[in-house]
């Protein structure tokens, strides 16, 4: 019989995480799901709110466990050609920039945070032209901001100072 | 029904509908023509724009992106052997060979005409079939609805990705994510971890943009992909005789694409491959396929575009999105207050017809815009990604924010984007997860109602009163297994 040898490939890691999550979900289902509403001591619904999630957790845990065993028995792990350290670094910088963008959009406003994110991404993509970077970092957000607020009449987060200046320019 | 059709026809004849459809078609072709960029990404990012337009304008705008994007994907497939979409993989086999022979213009013309023919025919079929199917669906009760939703999820899991068990895992994950928020039956909180932002559940839009668009962008960024050298648009235009020679192939592929479109989960890639294989099998000279055969381009393009119309049948009649693009369309329908399902046809029948009629008009626009702009889109394949990526990210973030004006949605976008890239590395298909997320609440609701109807005697209830639902439930494992085997055969062949 073949021995279990778990190499932490991406698919094994994903399956183990999902297995643990589903087992924890099953274990703490009563804490994670509020008790059903009662009327005169009887539940208002035929199905308890934790029933369907419990079925899914059991199914998920079983599937993950079976897949882990099958992957081990088959020997081969199906995953993409592994990324090079350089590609990993680029990925980390990309998601770092996106997280920064997400975190700064409300406190800094759409224009400033987008200009920063666009400049960082343009630089990361290897654009050597300063003129292109500046035009893209300032022109792009301004055009999108105007299109969103004037054409689609939706709001994007903005600093009070910029919103006031913008309103004054438009005669508000 | 005829009254609703006439009313819908009139509603579709609007200047702004035509304008936005044209913009959508142009935008779709533009994105599809860019190597590394997909229609799905364009639709996910531009979805929020449709929320602020009338349904008869916003949804045709998205449909325009969809139709334009599929054709746009064939441009880099033919010119530089780099399919812009999965659906264009079959096109690139003969299309690129034709380019190498100096006949790229003929290949692109054939792709356009076959696409428009396949798309228009399948749209007309959809208009004719959708009301009878909706009428049938109106007879469904909760047990039948639950059985059909479960069947759809199994079909999607069996046909997406390379491993159906992995697809089932993702589907279960999607179902669990759909439980976060408030229980649809009893209105109690589940899995919110005390966080206020999770009380209304996970919003669909950041999930769609996150799992579909961000991994595509991240992949381009991580690999630092650059456009290949442009192959010049060369040769004469397609002649009438050449088109006539391919008419039978186009008709055959249209029938294949239409049939595949109705089944949730199969989609354009399967249609294109099956259309191409059928054309090769039926040909008197199969050895020319793969060596620059115009029929090969026609077969693949007619089949993958013929999927577009029929995918609307399960979406509009049952609220079941057949693929990831129709999942995005479902988001647009729901945001517009149009809840797909049988009720939609009695409440908003004219609007449904207006959208379907607009799909046919979109094809005519598609023919004109495509024919005139092929030279322009052919130049796009060399545009710098260092300019495109920041613009796409800017649209993605603005789009994710505007729907609820909540910065938490931006973090969800990043988290789902990260999850999407991890899933891609580990070869898990995210489509079943999105389908599970979308179909989870109606499925749980139908399940709850079914349990209430059984009065504790499920066996007697199904055998005595609901043998139709029982039949579907019993057929699910068989259908799932047969489809999985068929998909493996298509992938191998």
Round the CA-based radius of gyration of chain A to a whole number and report it.
26
Q: Domains in chain A: how many in total?
A: 2
Q: What's the confidence (pLDDT) of residue B4? A: 80
- Contacts with A8 from chain B: Cβ below 8 Å: none
Mean pLDDT of A49-73: 90
Q: How high is the mean pLDDT of chain A?
A: 84
The alpha-carbon gap from B394 to the nearest alpha carbon of chain A, in Å, equals: 7
Pairing state between β B181-182 and A38-39: unpaired
Q: Does A112 touch chain B (CB under 8 A)?
A: no
Instruction: Name every chain B residue with its beta carbon within 8 A of the beta carbon of A105.
Output: 397, 401, 407, 410
Encode pLDDT of B26-79 as tens digits: 888 888 777 666 777 788 888 888 888 888 899 999 999 988 888 887 887 787
Task: Determine the residue of chain B that is closest to A135 in CA distance.
Answer: B387
Q: Is residue A79 part of a domain?
A: no
Which of A53, A74, A95 is where one domain is finished?
A74
> Do A59 and A90 reside in the same domain of the chain?
no
Among A56-65, B11-20, B257-266, which is the least confidently predicted range?
A: B257-266
Contact between A67 and B169 using a beta-carbon 8 Å cutoff: yes
**pLDDT given at position B310:** 87
Give yes or no: residues A94 and A56 share one domain.
Answer: no
Name the band, by pLDDT with cuts 50, 70 and 90, for residue B412. Answer: very high
Distance CA B235, CA B395 (A): 38
SS3 for A33?
Answer: strand
Which element (helix H / strand E) includes A43? strand A42-43
The domain total for chain B is: 1
One domain for residues A164 and A96? yes
CA distance B198 to B200: 6
Note whether residue A32 is domain-resident: yes
| Per-residue pLDDT, A2 | 52
Residue A119 within any structural domain of the chain = yes
Residue among A50, A74, A121, A157 with most chain B CBs within 10 A, to mutate? A121
- Assembly ipTM: 0.90
d(Cα A5, Cα A45) in Å, to the nearest integer?
47
Chain A neighbors of B390, CB-CB under 8 A: 117-118, 121-122, 125, 136-137, 140
A94 and A164 inside one domain: yes
Name every residue whose Cβ is closer than 8 Å to that of residue A139 and which is 6 or more positions away in sequence.
Answer: none
Q: Do the domain assignments include residue A160?
A: yes
Residues of A in contact with B384 (CB under 8 A): 127
CB-based contact (8 Å) between A23 and chain B? Answer: no
Domain assignment of residue A116, yes or no: yes
A160 and A107 in one domain? yes
Q: Contacts of residue A132 in chain B, CB cutoff 8 Å?
A: 386-387
Q: Which residue of chain A has the CA closest to B387?
A: A122
Q: Which domain holds residue A43?
A: 10-74
- Examine the domain organization and report whether A70 and A90 are in the same domain: no
CA distance A40 to chain B (A): 15
- The answer to whether position A80 is within a domain reads no
Q: Are residues A149 and A98 in the same domain?
A: yes
Residue A26: which region, alpha, beta or left (left: phi > 0; alpha: psi -120 to 50)?
alpha
Residue owning tokens 């086999």:
B93
Rounded-to-integer distance, Cα B205 and Cα B89, Å: 28
Q: What is the pLDDT confidence band of residue B423, given thresholds at 50, 70 and 90? A: very high
Are A89 and A153 in the same domain? yes
Question: Can you tell me the distance from the alpha carbon of B72 to that of B85, in angstroms, rounded to the nearest whole number?
Answer: 8
CA distance B111 to B76: 12
CB B36 within 8 A of CB B224: no
The set of residues, in sequence order, having a beta carbon less than 8 Å from that of A74 and lying 6+ positions away, is: none
* pLDDT per position as a tens digit, B309-362: 888 888 888 888 877 788 888 888 888 888 888 778 878 888 888 998 998 999
Note whether residue A156 is domain-resident: yes
* A159 in a structural domain: yes
Confidence of residue A78 (pLDDT cuts 50, 70, 90): low
Q: What percentage of chain A exceeds 90 in pLDDT?
A: 42
Q: Are residues A69 and A93 in the same domain?
A: no
Look at residue B78 in the predicted model and tell me its pLDDT: 83
Q: Is the pLDDT reported for residue B229 higher than 60?
A: no
Kindly report the length of chain B.
Answer: 493
End-of-domain residue from the set A74, A100, A115:
A74
Instruction: Give the structural domain span for B160.
Output: 2-492
Phi-psi region of B201 (alpha: psi -120 to 50; beta: other; left: phi over 0): left
Give Cα A80 to chain centroid, integer Å.
21
Instruction: Say what the alpha-carbon torsion angle B177, B178, B184, B189 is, to the nearest 10 degrees.
Output: 20
Q: Is the same domain home to A106 and A145?
A: yes
Whether pLDDT at B231 is above 60: no
Q: Which of B82, B113, B121 is nearest to B308 (CA)?
A: B121
Shared domain check, A91 and A66: no
pLDDT, residue B48, reads 84
pLDDT confidence band for B177 (50 / 70 / 90): very high
For residue A145, give the 3-state DSSP assignment: helix
Residue at which a domain ends, from A55, A74, A93: A74
Is B198 strand, coil or helix?
A: helix
CA distance B272 to chain A (A): 24
Please determine, for residue B469, whether its predicted confidence score (pLDDT) is greater than 80.
no
Give CA–CA dist B487/B493, Å, rounded: 10
Q: Is B381 exposed, middle or buried (0-12, 13-18, 19+ CB in 10 A)?
A: buried
Within this chain, do residues A70 and A97 fall inside the same structural domain, yes or no? no
A45 contact B CB<8A: yes
Burial (CB count <10 Å: 0-12, 13-18, 19+), residue A65: middle
Lookup result for tokens 């085997």: B485
């Amino acid at each position: 019989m073949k021995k279990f040898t778990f190499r932490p490939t991406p698919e094994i890691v994903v399956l183990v995480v999902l297995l643990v999550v589903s087992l924890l979900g099953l274990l703490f289902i009563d804490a994670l799901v509020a008790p059903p509403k009662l009327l005169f001591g009887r539940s208002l619904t035929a199905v308890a709110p934790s029933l369907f999630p419990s079925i899914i957790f059991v199914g998920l845990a079983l599937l993950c466990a079976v897949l882990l065993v099958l992957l081990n028995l088959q020997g081969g792990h199906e995953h993409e050609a592994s990324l090079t350290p350089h590609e990993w670094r680029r990925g980390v910088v990309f998601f770092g920039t996106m997280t920064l963008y997400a975190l700064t959009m409300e406190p800094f406003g759409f224009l400033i945070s987008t200009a920063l994110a666009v400049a960082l991404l343009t630089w990361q993509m290897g654009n050597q032209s300063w003129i292109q970077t500046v035009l893209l970092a300032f022109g792009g957000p301004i055009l999108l901001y105007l299109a969103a607020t004037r054409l689609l009449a939706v709001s994007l987060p903005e600093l009070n100072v910029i919103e006031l200046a913008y309103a004054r320019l438009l005669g508000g | 029904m005829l009254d609703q059709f006439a009313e819908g026809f009139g509603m579709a004849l609007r200047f702004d509908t035509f304008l936005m459809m044209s913009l959508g078609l142009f935008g779709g072709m533009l994105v599809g023509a860019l190597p590394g960029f997909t229609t799905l990404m364009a639709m996910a990012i531009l979805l929020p724009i449709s929320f602020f337009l009338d349904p008869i304008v916003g949804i045709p705008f998205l449909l325009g992106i969809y139709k334009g994007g599929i054709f746009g994907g064939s441009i880099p497939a033919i010119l530089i052997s780099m399919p812009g979409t999965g659906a264009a993989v079959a096109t690139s086999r003969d299309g690129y060979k034709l380019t190498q022979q100096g006949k790229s213009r003929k290949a692109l013309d054939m792709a356009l005409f076959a696409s428009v023919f396949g798309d228009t025919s399948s749209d007309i079929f959809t208009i004719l079939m959708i009301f009878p199917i909706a009428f049938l669906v109106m007879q469904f009760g909760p047990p039948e609805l639950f059985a059909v939703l479960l069947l759809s999820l199994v079909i999607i899991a069996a046909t997406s990705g390379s491993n159906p068990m992995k697809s089932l895992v993702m589907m279960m994950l999607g179902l669990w994510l759909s439980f976060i928020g408030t229980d649809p039956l009893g209105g109690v909180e589940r899995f919110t971890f005390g966080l206020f932002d999770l009380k209304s559940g996970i919003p669909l839009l950041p999930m769609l943009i996150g799992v579909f668009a961000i991994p595509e962008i991240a992949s381009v960024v991580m690999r630092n992909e650059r456009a290949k050298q442009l192959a010049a648009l060369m040769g004469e235009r397609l002649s009438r005789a050449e088109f006539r020679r391919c008419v039978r192939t186009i008709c055959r592929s249209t029938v294949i694409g239409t049939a595949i479109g109705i089944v949730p989960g199969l989609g354009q890639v399967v249609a294109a491959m099956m259309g191409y294989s059928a054309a090769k099998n039926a040909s008197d000279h199969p050895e020319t396929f793969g060596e620059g055969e115009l029929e090969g381009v026609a077969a693949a393009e007619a089949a993958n575009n013929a999927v577009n119309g029929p995918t609307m049948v399960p979406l509009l009649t049952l609220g079941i999105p057949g693929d990831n693009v129709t999942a995005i369309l479902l988001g647009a329908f729901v945001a517009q207050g149009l809840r797909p399902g049988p009720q939609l046809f009695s409440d908003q029948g004219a609007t449904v017809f207006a959208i379907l009629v607009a799909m046919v008009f979109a094809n005519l626009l598609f023919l004109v815009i495509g024919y005139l702009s092929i030279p322009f889109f052919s130049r796009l394949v060399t545009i710098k990604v260092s300019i495109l990526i920041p613009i796409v990210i800017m649209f993605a973030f603005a789009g994710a924010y505007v729907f609820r004006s909540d910065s938490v949605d931006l973090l969800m976008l990043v988290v789902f984007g990260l999850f999407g890239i991890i899933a891609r590395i580990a070869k898990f298909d995210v489509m079943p997860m999105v389908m599970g997320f979308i179909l989870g609440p109606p499925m749980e609701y139908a399940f709850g109602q079914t349990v209430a109807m059984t009065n504790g005697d499920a066996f007697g209830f199904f055998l005595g009163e609901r043998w139709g639902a029982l039949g579907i439930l019993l057929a699910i494992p068989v259908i799932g297994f047969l489809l999985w085997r068929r998909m493996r055969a298509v992938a191998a062949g």
